Structure 1
Amino acid sequence: MLSNERTTCLVVGGGPAGLILGLLMARAGVEVTVLEKHGDFLRDFRGDTVHASTLTLLDELGLGERFAALPQRRIERAQVQFDAGVAQIADLSRLPGAHQHIAMVPQWDFLDLVADAAEEEPTFTLRRNAEAIGLLHEGRRVAGVRYRDRTDGSEHELRASLTVACDGRGSVVRAAAGLVPRSFGVPIDVWWFRLPRRETDPAGGVGRISAGQFAVMIDRGDYWQCAFLISKGSDAAMRAAGLERFRERIAGLLPWMADRLDALTSLHDVKLLDVKLERLRTWHREGLLLIGDAAHAMSPVGGVGINLAVADAVATARLLAPALRSGGIVPRSLLRKVQRRRWWPAALIQGGQRIAHRAVFRGRGATAGTPVANTDPVGLADGVPLAPAEALPPPLRLLRQFPVLQGVPARLIAIGPLPEHAPDWARRTTEPADR
């Protein structure tokens, strides 16, 4: 049975973009409802990087001290291990501002923090177990959504002056609106899995490149969240090669992990991320706006997707909240203004990711037939020597010769091309978390 309800701003998706947008709209005095299809935020294999631009935003929102209290690891430099040794590619100590690092925080803790702050605002509502299943229309205008309560299967209608889709790269709202993103070719997929972490292991993040193989390990305290790149579409063949073949491959690429690979008891422990790089040509319809991955799905390269989505949310709130607060319909000209502001940062970053796919990975990821690395590299736990300059690609040689240039990739990754700041009406005064 359908029930009819109404809100001013309806946000579909309780991820980083959706909850930040909900918080900002509520602080503007706008009645806002966020629909989240899950009952909680405890879902694995999600991005955990909170970059300096987002840390600055949290300070501006008065949430810096709360965030600093969360369990976290900090990355202050980015290094990649080649067969010949280690090369540093970014030095975050060269960043401006109070946050000269990237924080590695379980995303569920970050989302709980933002949701708790939003629920302190009287005009904010978070509905969990609420799965959007279709759009409502008034003539040509999107007027809200139909959603299913996943606890009892009942269906409901929720009407709104503005609907904002923050429901990710598989956006149900986008499909219901008939919007089809432009897809860019991606040569890789990613296998995600966990391995135990020990106190003698390196902290933060570790990258490893060898013979067309690439892996990244994200420090989550007592375990590593590991990403292993495979060639696009090779998942079935890789699985057919079996668990032992995969263990051998990881042991060859990461010898310091060899003594804990029995933690992988089955390839069911290995999850596939189907990597997509997509962008909508038009992010809006009458009464509807799409932001974050719903508008521009990012590659995992650089781990910038969350922070780009958060920046989208901040710009959306700053540009649209005044019109919503007045109670009127948001004109499509304002929705176009959001897209004009946020399109070029998304396009620029995606362009860089496409270059990385070609240059760093040379269009290759591991396949079932890729030879296991047999270069006997020094284990990271024992200390890895610097790679000789002649063994490095020219851009990395330049970064080695002129360390000040390491601030450039640090800024591109940790701050981005167009960081967004909280509007005055959303700010709360606290000291930055690092001070």
Structure 2
Amino acid sequence: MSIPTNIPTDVDVLIVGGGPAGALLGCLLARRGIHVLVVEKQQNLDRDFRGETLAAPSVVTLRRLGFGPALENHGYLETTAVSMRMEGQEVLNVDYGRFGIGALPIDIPQPGLIGLFNDAAAGEPGYAYAAGTSCTGLVEKDGAITGARLRDRDGNRVTVTARLVVGADGRFSKVRKEAGLAAEITPQQRDFLSFKLPRPAGWGQHAELVVNRDKHLVVLPTWPDFLRVGHNLPKRGLGELRRRGIEAFRAGITEIDPRLGPLVEEHVRTWDDTGFLEIFTAEMADWARDGLILIGDASHTCTPILGQGVNLAIQDVVMISPVIAAALRAGTGPVPATTFDGFVAARRRHKRRVTRFQRMQEAALAQHKPAKVWVRRVRFKTMNRLPLKYVVFGKVINAPHPIDPADLRTGAEAAPTPAAPSAA
């Protein structure tokens, strides 16, 4: 087997995982003149993703980083509000325009988002990207991580030396496992099945949570003209659901939200039209070793509630980019784990707050006894009448994270741009 010719064998930073976190970090580091290699095991980013909503603070952050024109050129769908209906009654409505951030959440396909990060980085000297390439193991010397072993889609192997390896390879992180960093996995009570439907004309641009006792649907308007629907099912309940048949599944969706009945009947024909997601959280005592740091879902896995994964990843990158740059300037060997103590402490606090909120929401949605269902409905109706709902949601959404001046793009490139025409 030959050595892949497109992969440099000695870099400053090796990023394993080319999702939103890895792609954005690779771009920001390359802008600073750092030699960086991003490896992504998928050859083409053409698979379906579940989390494609960028919260308003993330939109502001990306515009300040200079990605506003690229977002406009690609196109996206703004989400104006989120509402909740329980047992046929609207119990909560949150208007995103009330947060005063200067942007609304947007839906943009993750392949498009990752693509614009990669395109921006491609022109930077010292940047390299290797698609269809997997990390098969880490290289260690004197207790520090000094690189990784890689394999491309043709089976060719190469060892890459790096002063820092960044694990940005998601909830089932290979880097995390190879580094021996243990994760505390907490399964949630339920898992998730999702599917897409054409979005009817006049549907609107607000996200909806439709609840009937312990069953619920998340209905999200999706760019350019779809609805993304997520449906909960009992933990390890996929087999039983399939045994009952696709017709029973469609009937169950219609029972929760009759508006979707005709669409589901026409467009969800087989199980291949659905996607399964196992729901768990993963928390870690240590995110770093000498020469290695984990970010995004690799460092702290959240549940899909409120679609926080991609937004937490962007916050991780914006905060860690200047930390990495300073560490590389300060020394010559593997970046010490202690370099990231402040980053880990700050991000852990925020992620734990998000996880606590998600677990509270999951516990509320899992109620099925009539008395508890009634109390739940009253509680949400009461919160809906109070300004408190904006305080609660604001703590989870969070403000745009401060950006290091070296990452900013000034002038017209970074100026807030008008919203793209919506695909209503």
- Superposition TM-score, scaled by structure 2 size: 0.90
Change (3 A) 1:205 1:423: same
* Partner residue, 1:377: none
* Partner residue, 2:302: 298
- The one-letter code of the counterpart of 1:400 is N
- 1:16 shift after superposition: 0.9
My pick for the range that moved more, 239-248 or 215-224, is: 215-224
* Partner residue, 2:23: 19
Change (3 A) 1:327 1:123: farther
* C-alpha distance in structure 2 between counterparts of 1:33 and 1:363, whole Å: 50
Residue 95 of structure 1: which of 90, 96, 99 is its match? 99
* Partner residue, 2:408: 427
Q: Does residue 361 of the first structure (1) align with residue 366 of the second (2)?
A: yes
* Partner residue, 2:389: 406
SS of 1:179's equivalent in the other structure is: coil
- The one-letter code of the counterpart of 1:340 is A
My pick for the range that moved more, 285-294 or 79-88, is: 79-88
* Partner residue, 1:173: 175
- Deviation sequence 1:248-283 (CA, Å, 0-9, x none): 111111211111223212123222101111111100
Query: Is 2:188–2:279's contact at 8 Å kept on the other side of the alignment?
Result: yes
1:94-173 to 2 correspondence within 5 Å?
94-99=98-103, 101-150=104-153, 152-173=154-175
- 1:6 shift after superposition: 0.6
Query: Is 2:296–2:316's contact at 8 Å kept on the other side of the alignment?
Result: yes
- Deviation sequence 1:191-220 (CA, Å, 0-9, x none): 112222221323342221002111112222
- 1:112 shift after superposition: 0.8
- 1:43 shift after superposition: 1.6
* C-alpha distance in structure 1 between counterparts of 2:93 and 2:87, whole Å: 16
- The one-letter code of the counterpart of 2:52 is D
- Superposition TM-score, scaled by structure 1 size: 0.88
* Partner residue, 2:188: 186
* C-alpha distance in structure 2 between counterparts of 1:238 and 1:97, whole Å: 42
SS of 1:132's equivalent in the other structure is: strand
- The one-letter code of the counterpart of 1:211 is R
My pick for the range that moved more, 268-277 or 199-208, is: 199-208
Query: Is 1:91–1:410's contact at 8 Å kept on the other side of the alignment?
Result: no
SS of 1:69's equivalent in the other structure is: helix
Query: Is 1:64–1:433's contact at 8 Å kept on the other side of the alignment?
Result: yes
* C-alpha distance in structure 1 between counterparts of 2:101 and 2:84, whole Å: 25
Residue 71 of structure 1: which of 75, 83, 87 is its match? 75
* Partner residue, 2:35: 31
Which ranges in structure 1 are unaligned for 5 or more consecutive residues? 365-389
Tell me the percent identity.
28
Residue 340 of structure 1: which of 339, 345, 350 is its match? 345
- Deviation sequence 1:117-169 (CA, Å, 0-9, x none): 1223222221111111111112211111111111x211111110000100001
Change (3 A) 1:76 1:201: closer
Which ranges in structure 2 are unaligned for 5 or more consecutive residues? 420-424
SS of 1:393's equivalent in the other structure is: helix
Q: Does residue 324 of the first structure (1) align with residue 328 of the second (2)?
A: yes
Residue 288 of structure 1: which of 285, 289, 292 is its match? 292
* C-alpha distance in structure 1 between counterparts of 2:30 and 2:100, whole Å: 30
Query: Is 1:91–1:406's contact at 8 Å kept on the other side of the alignment?
Result: no
Residue 10 of structure 2: which of 1, 6, 10 is its match? 6
My pick for the range that moved more, 277-286 or 68-77, is: 68-77
- The one-letter code of the counterpart of 1:270 is T
* Partner residue, 2:260: 257
- The one-letter code of the counterpart of 1:401 is R
SS of 1:214's equivalent in the other structure is: strand
- 1:363 shift after superposition: 8.3
* Partner residue, 2:377: 393
* C-alpha distance in structure 2 between counterparts of 1:70 and 1:205, whole Å: 21
Q: Does residue 58 of the first structure (1) align with residue 58 of the second (2)?
A: no
- 1:409 shift after superposition: 3.6
Q: How well do the aligned residues superpose, as a CA RMSD in angstroms? A: 2.1
- Deviation sequence 1:354-378 (CA, Å, 0-9, x none): 11111232389xxxxxxxxxxxxxx
* C-alpha distance in structure 1 between counterparts of 2:209 and 2:321, whole Å: 36
SS of 2:114's equivalent in the other structure is: helix
Moved over 4 A (4+): 1-4
Query: Is 1:45–1:192's contact at 8 Å kept on the other side of the alignment?
Result: no
* C-alpha distance in structure 2 between counterparts of 1:349 and 1:230, whole Å: 22
* C-alpha distance in structure 1 between counterparts of 2:364 and 2:253, whole Å: 23
* C-alpha distance in structure 1 between counterparts of 2:248 and 2:164, whole Å: 52
1:205-220 to 2 correspondence within 5 Å?
205-220=207-222
SS of 1:114's equivalent in the other structure is: helix
My pick for the range that moved more, 185-194 or 298-307, is: 185-194
Query: Is 1:92–1:407's contact at 8 Å kept on the other side of the alignment?
Result: no
SS of 1:147's equivalent in the other structure is: strand
- 1:46 shift after superposition: 2.8
SS of 1:428's equivalent in the other structure is: coil
Q: How many residues align?
A: 405
